[in-house]
Amino acid sequence: MEAMERIAPRILAEEWDNPGLLIGDPAQKINKIITCLDVNEAVVNEAIEKKYDMIISHHPFIFHALKKIRTDLPMGKLIQKLLKNNIAVFAAHTNLDSAKGGINDMLCELWHLHNVQMLNVNFAEELVKLAVFVPKSHAKAVRLAIGKAGAGYIGNYSYCAFEMQGMGHFLPLAGTNPYIGEIGKIASVDEVKLETILPAKIKDRVVRAMVKAHPYEEAAYEIYPLKMTGETAGLGRIGELEKVVPFEEFAAMVKDTLQIDHIRLVRTNDREIKKVALCSGAGAEFLSTAKMRGADVYITGDVKYHEAQKAQELNINLIDAGHFGTEYLVAKALAGKLDTYAKKNKWNIEISYDKVAKDPFVML
Ligand SMILES: [Zn+2]
């Protein structure tokens, strides 16, 4: 679960979503994991047969509120099987769509897009500024401690901080145990004002590290909210191909690389393709955004009749590569990411992925 939080932070999930641990106990010890797009009977049977103790899917197995668990019906039957065999079920849905390195980025990689940006930014990390007053003798220790705790990241630079020298004054009151000065006497000390920037979510950790490294009984510090934001995340991506290609050629490449047997095209103009916008799953809602951002083509799944008409109105080429088509790659890719994480942390876990899932739609 810690690995999944790294790969697809829960904070990135859409409000209506239901990611996370859906069946099981967070304390359960996991030895074998299978990843998949959907939790269905085939996956559950494979998990039982091959003794997997956790299934990680993209689509949440439990999405709508359950009002009954009838074991004579498909859903109830699967829940019963999962519980009986002690198999945990976890989902990373829209948080995995939005996350850096998530499904949308996997598609960009597959199609070799560069200059990739978010299509629809829906999360921007809140940043704060920390200013701490520390005696000159301990300025370096405090600066390094807060840097080690994760403060001071600006782009690819870490431990960023600014120091200003000045004079601190204080009067220790009765009952104190001052590091410098005496009770009842105003002390004046050469101090440094140390400033740095950090994500609001790690504020407590940084303050703890700062207080630990600070010599004073009462460390004087301030935290300010900032208008600027840090890392962004969001659904969909927009990027550029290495070279301009005709629409049909691009569409054929999409079909080939996704290893699917059909795609649907809404061809609205003869423009060659350079700028590509995409959103895995059902992303027709970002069609106008793709047009506004100057995309030559928009690729998504689950396109409806009126959405195809909208593409014509907007004069943007549209490819419906299917919901399954744009997302099945997640099963293998997620297994790979988890495996890397497990190896790095020396976890003895076996990870596999659902190799038999098929698009429910077939073409005649
Ligand atoms: Zn989906």
Which two tokens mark 362?
A: 């077939």
Q: What is the pLDDT of residue 121?
A: 85
- How many angstroms separate the alpha carbon of residue 267 from the centre of ligand 1? 24
**Residue in 36, 91, 29 with CA at minimum distance from that of residue 352:** 36
Q: What is the pLDDT of residue 11?
A: 74
- How many angstroms separate the alpha carbon of residue 327 from the centre of ligand 1? 6
- How many angstroms separate the alpha carbon of residue 256 from the centre of ligand 1? 20
- How many angstroms separate the alpha carbon of residue 3 from the centre of ligand 1? 21
Which residues are paired to 23 by β-bridges?
A: 89
Q: What is the pLDDT of residue 345?
A: 87
β-sheet with 350-353: strand ranges across? 20-23, 88-91, 54-57, 32-36, 350-353
- How many angstroms separate the alpha carbon of residue 323 from the centre of ligand 1? 6
Strands 88-91 and 20-23: antiparallel
- How many angstroms separate the alpha carbon of residue 352 from the centre of ligand 1? 20
Q: Which domains does the chain have, with CATH numbers?
A: 2-93+328-353 (3.40.1390.30), 98-122+234-327 (3.40.1390.30), 124-231 (3.30.70.120)
- How many angstroms separate the alpha carbon of residue 94 from the centre of ligand 1? 8
Which residues are paired to 164 by β-bridges?
A: 193
- How many angstroms separate the alpha carbon of residue 207 from the centre of ligand 1? 40
d(CA 59, CA 61) in angstroms, rounded, equals: 6
Give the residue ranges of the annotated binding site.
Answer: 58-59, 97, 323, 327
Give the residue ranges of the annotated binding site for a divalent metal cation.
Answer: 58-59, 97, 323, 327
- How many angstroms separate the alpha carbon of residue 246 from the centre of ligand 1? 28
d(CA 237, CA 246) in angstroms, rounded, equals: 21
Q: Burial, 179: exposed, middle or buried (Cβ in 10 Å; 0-12, 13-18, 19+)?
A: middle
- How many angstroms separate the alpha carbon of residue 281 from the centre of ligand 1? 4
Which residues are paired to 188 by β-bridges?
A: 169
d(CA 32, CA 55) in angstroms, rounded, equals: 9
Q: What is the pLDDT of residue 99?
A: 82
* Contact (Cβ atoms closer than 8 angstroms) between residue 147 and residue 161: yes
Residue-by-residue pLDDT tens, the chain, 364 positions: 777 777 887 777 888 889 999 999 998 999 999 999 999 999 999 999 999 999 999 999 999 989 999 999 999 999 999 999 999 999 999 888 888 889 999 999 999 999 999 999 878 889 999 999 999 999 999 999 999 999 999 888 999 999 999 999 999 999 999 999 999 999 999 999 999 999 998 999 999 999 999 999 999 999 999 999 888 888 999 999 999 999 999 999 999 999 999 999 999 999 999 999 999 999 999 999 999 999 999 999 999 999 999 999 999 999 999 999 999 999 999 999 999 988 988 888 999 999 999 999 988 8
